[in-house]
Amino acid sequence: MMQVLIQKIFTGILILVSVVILVSTIVYLAPVDPTSLTFGQRSDQRTVDSKRSALGLDLPLHKQMTFYLRDISPFVIINKSDKVLKYYEGVGVDIGDKRLIMKVPYLRESYQTNRPVSNILSEAIPLTLLLAFCSFLIAIVLGITLGIVAGINHGTWIDKMIIAFSTVGYSVPSYVSAIFLAVVFAYILGDLTGLNVQGSLVEINDIGDDVIVFKNLLLPAIALGIRPISVVAQLMRSALLDSFSQDYVRTGKAKGLQYYTIVLRHVLRNAMNPVATSISGWLASLLAGAFFVENVFNYRGMGLVTVTALVNYDIPVILASIIFICGVFIIINILMDYIYAWLDPRVSVI
């Protein structure tokens, strides 16, 4: 068991490193000098060159890549005189004139702002996770409710409406629904709802204090949640319909239980299985959708950070975002293998 896990983690790291190499090759080979973008409309060559060498961009590609991998690796052996040492946070032991260090990955500084990338990410990641969590919550609660309502009212106009809604919801990409929601609820009905078209979770008020504006989370979370809502509603409905023909429902009725008790206590529990297994599928699409939704609502999460970095060729931020996203996918995949096994004993992790 443990061996399998270690093997999986090792494969994950291998994937991560290959992704870093692949992406950094593409980024570094792009016909753009990222340093020139950090200057204004005028600059002098001496400073541009000095900045290039400070950022290591004058080195051959393979060296740039090795240095980057060294910076992000948690273990490293390095010359004691190396200048980069001051950026490494961790513990180390001396081996001759070298030093073995166990450290936090050093993600460097943004070319555009000189701000540490770890700092940028630690601000953006929680915002994206919160957004994903809220849409997850909305999806589960609304999806299950709609699914139950549709299932109970099977064949009626309510059922058909819900089916129609969820079909549309599933087919519409999140950036379309995001723009639609923004236009309808924040612009046309803006005076009524009081929602902002754009805005992030934390804002500064008129006396210079931070305020948390939860309402700015509402539309992005719904926009991101629409697809999962539709999936859950459909799965829930069909699972419910299947369960109704089961023996235990008839037994429940015979016992004289109330209709809603049967649905909520027995049918629902049995119908949850396929829903739970589908969740892993959305986590990935949630993250992808967050990129679009964040850009529409100007919500300062990972999506917006990555897109802005791509436009500005801000290489350290691009690479760090990709490592993060890739890491999340790898972890989700490993976890899901185990969750499947746990949900269904017939599956085993190999």
Partner 1 sequence: MCFERFKALIFSAFLLFLYGCHSSRDQEDYNVFHYNQINPITSLDPAFAKSQNNIWACNHLFDGLVQLDDSLNVIPSIAKSWSISDDGKIYTFDLRQDVYFHKNDCFAEQSRKVNAQDFVYSLGRLLSEEVNSPGSWIFSNIVEDAGSFQARDDSTLVITLNKAFLPLLGILTMEYCSVIPEECVEYYGDRFRSNPVGSGPFVFKRWIENQGLYLLRNDNYFDPNVNKDLDGVKTSFITDRNIAYLELLKGKVDFISGVASSVINELLDADGNLKADKADKIKLYKSPYLNTEYLGINMSLLEDGPLANKKLRQALNYAIDKKQMMASLRNNAGTPALSGFVPKGLPSYDPNKVKGYAYDLEQAELLLVESGYSKDAAPIEIHTNKDYLDITTYVAKQWERLGVNVEIKLMESAVLRDGMRNNRFQLFRASWIADYPDAENYLSMFYSKNPAPPNYTRFQNLKFDQLYEQSLQESNDSIRYDLYQQMDRIIVEEAPVIFLFYDVTSKFVGKNISNISNNALNLLKAKQVIKEKSQ
Query: Position 158: which residue type?
Result: I
User: 179 or 341, CB closer to partner 1?
Assistant: 179
| b/e per residue 36-68 (b: at least 16 CB within 10 A) | eebeeeeeeeeeeeebbeebebeeeeeebbeeb
Phi, psi (5° rounding) for residue 315? Answer: -55, -50
| Least distance CB 154 / partner 1 (angstroms) | 20
Burial of 342 (0-12, 13-18, 19+ CB in 10 A): exposed
106: phi then psi, degrees, rounded to nearest 5: -95, 115
Contact characters 61-100, partner 1, x per CB under 8 A: ----------------------------------------
Three-state SS annotation for 313-326: CCHHHHHHHHHHHH
Burial readout 180-204 (b: 16 or more C-beta within 10 A, e: otherwise): ebbeebbeeeeeeeebbbebbbeee
Q: Which stretch binds partner 1 (CB under 8 A): 9-17, 56-64, 166-174, 310-318?
A: 310-318
- Contact between 108 and 119 under an 8 Å Cβ cutoff? The reply is no
Does position 42 bind partner 1 by CB under 8 A? Answer: yes
Site for partner 1 in 185-244 (CB under 8 A): 187, 197-198, 200, 202-215, 217-218
Residue closer to partner 1 (CB basis): 174 or 337: 174
Stretch that binds partner 1, among 42-50, 68-76, 243-251, 342-350 (CB under 8 A): 42-50
349 binds partner 1 (CB under 8 A): no
Binding flag, residue 183, partner 1 (CB under 8 A): no
Residue whose CB is less far from partner 1, 42 or 255: 42
Task: Determine, following the binding rule CB under 8 A, whether residue 39 of this chain makes contact with partner 1.
Answer: yes
Report strand pairing: 90-95 vs 75-79: unpaired
Please report, as ranges, the residues that interact with partner 1 according to CB under 8 A. 30-33, 36-47, 50-51, 54, 109, 112-116, 120, 123, 137, 141, 145, 187, 197-198, 200, 202-215, 217-218, 260-261, 264-265, 268, 298, 300, 304, 311-313
